[in-house]
Structure 1
């Protein structure tokens, strides 16, 4: 996977500023930054963005800026080049030419600066009314039966729940248990259950992992149960093969063997476990995750009506066809090379059984989604392809500067959102 950063919190950020150093003998310095207005979202479809150019030497500087506006699939919409003169020791705001988008969605604005014979490129993603994004369904005729049969397959597997208490420092807020259970394909999956020390019945958060992420105990609350659950090939759960960034395409030749079939069912098994607990308030169970975990949160909510609130950050696992129109992974090339009888349609047909947008109409509870406007791993348009098919109460948050990661502050705010929905007091 060229974009190996489905792993949460270690992901790249699309920079929007740089410094150009001229010839050494001049000691000249030029700093340039792209500045989208209105936090990068334009409800009237009128683009407003400028390059802020700072000349930190006394001599005037001549440069050219080539502005290119494309849609998120790379289709050119406008291309213009202009010369600029930046006076010495001054700051210049060079505005992108006027452009009004013809449709709603996400777009890329690229500025290529030519200075002293060298070219330097900056880009940023902007958007208009993402709630109007639509994407046609690629849904197999047997889609519903496929998932009905898989849920029956899981139900036929005896879970054999086991809990092992983990010794902790007395100052911790919760008692900790390592939990294990049987899922499909003979796989044992595990997680970390944190239960307040005071006996009672508590609201509960099921946390599901980003791709290759190992979820660990948090010791965050003394008035909530948190189950940090690791699906197969993650954390303390069993493996289906060697762990690496390319494991997601295992079984891609057949929807009945595809990697994510087992992972989706693992999440349902985690819910089965929580329902056995007398200390879990069955009417207040939230699910939360980011990246792969964000997709798993939405998909599990669609497949399991026992969830009452869903928090999905930068969700993956949606709108595969658009995804691979915008992005490219080397694993697809490797798969097609290893399976010469298969083609793109075959790949998309298998992936369509696992596309979250085909399930979103089943969600009946509130959903909160957050995305990064500069996310090139899970492009914002793909997230909204699923989100816009949800008919229950929902809200979204867009961070203008965020790529494919969730800040600690945002992660904490999502947990606080769960607490607010469950009408709980804030953590002291």
Structure 2
């Protein structure tokens, strides 16, 4: 039975937050912890939402209320500011907007400062424009938008030989953004075939003790197992397994990584709170090598791996990655200490992509938490809009599209796109990202999110880029613990 992580929190926190916003955010059962008590009163005041009740935007059965964290809560101070005229940065269609630009500078020159800015759809902001900003500031007009999407302004000013840069991204009916990616008729059959191929390869699980990572509370090991190969013969997958000491049973968590090549030390904090955790790497190399090895691979043999063999769906780099992650989930589901009730997957960026994929293909997954999921609607640029990381098919400054010829590659992406796994999700999930993200642009993440019909909650930090704040991290952890059935007393 799939556990429902949301109602208890909504009953408790929904009332407390209602005075400020009439909205809730998902769960933290950690709200009674001493470390959180210090910031909880401030958090309650700061989690504010401007009214977002446009009927058309919430008409879909898949729509869920948007939750907003306070603007600027996690960002360093910048003397150059862009302030939209709505504090949630979110507008209905056919409504114009303005951004007030100001520069904190003393003394302020009488002639003002020359501001250079670009304004247009996110990741396609267009040519640079100029304006003079007087001491009292100036307005940048954003035309009303007839179609759902995002408009970004990137502004810069030169002061004392240095560039100050600021940006603001406005959402226009983001819950109406539609994905461009096609849903292949044989999508499910394709993944059934891939999983059958994986089943033919013996896992050959190998555990190596990691006493340097273990403690009185948890036993940590390095895990190695066999996986499909994209070329000849099987490959291997590696990770860090952390198991609470004691008889159990325990809930389980799979932690999947963002893009890049790096070592891993395991999800030890959550393991100490009573979860079996498995953090994996995706590249088929041990996760405890010297840092220089990963740096060399990231700049050399594994640079731009997201494009390796992308013209062939059966040999694309992410085929081995997806199947390896699914086998990692299977390892947890086979663990003798697993409680057989709670299996959660989490990650950000590429990890968000892998979390959604895993939850869609493995019905044993009971909850997921995904931050700014990558590989979302990657066909967007080819369709004349904006696509997600790794920005396949994006036109350059001269109009030439990357990744040409694109026909075969575009076909492959449909089998790996987060949007098509989002369509198939039946697992409750917590999601979070920012409007200013230029790695996984909000147009792409909303395109995937809007396809999800499972129970979902989205918390937005509109002015954030490709990062999470401490508040978002706290909410993610709270969601995981609640979805795992771990009480606040156990998480102290």
Q: TM-score, normalised by structure 1?
A: 0.80
- The Cα shift of 1:405 comes to 2.2
Specify which of 216, 228, 231 is matched with residue 265 of structure 2.
216
Deviation at 1:225, TM superposition (A): 1.3
Q: Alignment partner for residue 181 of structure 1, among 215, 225, 245?
A: 225
Unaligned 5+ runs, structure 2: 1-74, 395-402
* Cα distance in 1 between the residues matched to 2:235 and 2:469: 32
Provide the rounded CA distance (Å) in 1 between the counterparts of 2:437 and 2:331. Answer: 34
Of structures 1 and 2, the one with the larger relative CO (CA 8 A, separation 6+) is 2
Change (3 A) 1:227 1:387: same
SS state at 2:237 partner: strand
Aligned residue among 293, 305, 312 for 1:247: 305
Q: Distance in 2 between matches of 1:177 and 1:373?
A: 39
Quick check: 1:205 aligned with 2:253?
yes
The answer for unaligned runs of 5 or more in structure 1 is 1-14, 19-30, 87-91, 334-340
**Aligned equivalents of 2:371 and 2:457: distance in 1?**
12
Residue of structure 2 in register with 1:47 after alignment: 97
* Residue of structure 2 in register with 1:135 after alignment: 179
Match of 1:89 in 2: none
Deviation at 1:321, TM superposition (A): 1.4
Q: Could you tell me whether the CA contact under 8 Å between 1:323 and 1:379 is conserved in 2?
A: no
- Quote the offset at 1:80 in angstroms: 8.5
Matched, 1:35 2:93: no
Superposed counterparts of 1:341-356, under 5 Å: 343-356=405-418
Structure number with greater Rg is 1
The CA deviation at 1:394 is 0.6
RMSD: 3.6
- Taking a change above 3 Å as real, the CA distance of residues 201 and 354 of structure 1, as seen in their structure-2 partners, is same
Give 1:126's match in structure 2, choosing from 144, 149, 170. 170
CA distance in 2 between counterparts of 1:80 and 1:332 reads: 26
The farther-off stretch of 133-142 and 374-383 is 133-142
1:25 corresponds in structure 2 to none
Provide the residue aligned with 2:323 in structure 1.
Answer: 265
The answer for the alignment partner of 1:305 in structure 2 is: 363
Which residue of the partner structure matches residue 439 of structure 2? 377
Q: Which 10-residue stretch deviates more, 230-239 or 384-393?
A: 230-239
Q: Provide closer, same or farther for how the CA distance between residues 414 and 169 of structure 1 changes in structure 2, counting only shifts above 3 A.
A: closer
Q: Structure 1 residues 226 and 169, CA, compared in 2 at 3 Å: closer, same or farther?
A: closer
Q: What is the CA–CA distance in structure 1 between the aligned matches of 2:128 and 2:304, rounded to whole Å?
A: 37
Q: Retained in 2: the 8 A contact 1:370–1:397?
A: yes
Of 199, 213, 217, the match for 1:155: 199
Residue 321 of structure 1 aligns to a residue whose secondary structure is: coil
Are residues 1:422 and 2:471 paired? no
The CA distance in 2 between the partners of 1:49 and 1:152, in whole Å, is 54
User: More strand by proportion, 1 or 2?
Assistant: 1
Q: 1:329 to 1:178 in 2, by over 3 A?
A: closer
Q: Classify the secondary structure of the residue corresponding to 1:245.
A: coil
Deviation at 1:133, TM superposition (A): 0.8
1:230 maps to 281
Q: Work out whether residues 312 and 369 of structure 1, in 8 Å CA contact, stay in contact via their aligned partners in 2.
A: yes
Cα pair 2:249 2:338 within 8 Å, conserved: yes
Deviations 1:228-247 (A, max 9, x none): 12223465299999643322
Deviation at residue 17 of structure 1 after TM alignment = 7.8
Tell me the equivalent position of 2:344. 286
Residue 56 of structure 1 deviates from its aligned partner by 0.5
Structure 1 residues 343 and 126, CA gap change in structure 2 (3 angstroms):
same
Give, in whole Å, the separation in 2 of the partners of 1:190 and 1:137. 32
Tell me the equivalent position of 2:334. 276
Instruction: Report if the CA contact (8 A) 1:364-1:391 is conserved.
Output: yes
Instruction: Give secondary structure in 2 for the equivalent of 1:275.
Output: helix
- CA deviation profile, 1:282-330 (whole Å, cap 9, x unmatched): 2201000011111000011111111000111111122111156547979
Asked whether the equivalents of residues 233 and 243 of structure 1 are also in contact (C-alpha less than 8 Å), the reply is no
- Rounded to whole Å, the distance in 2 between the matches of 1:42 and 1:160 is 51
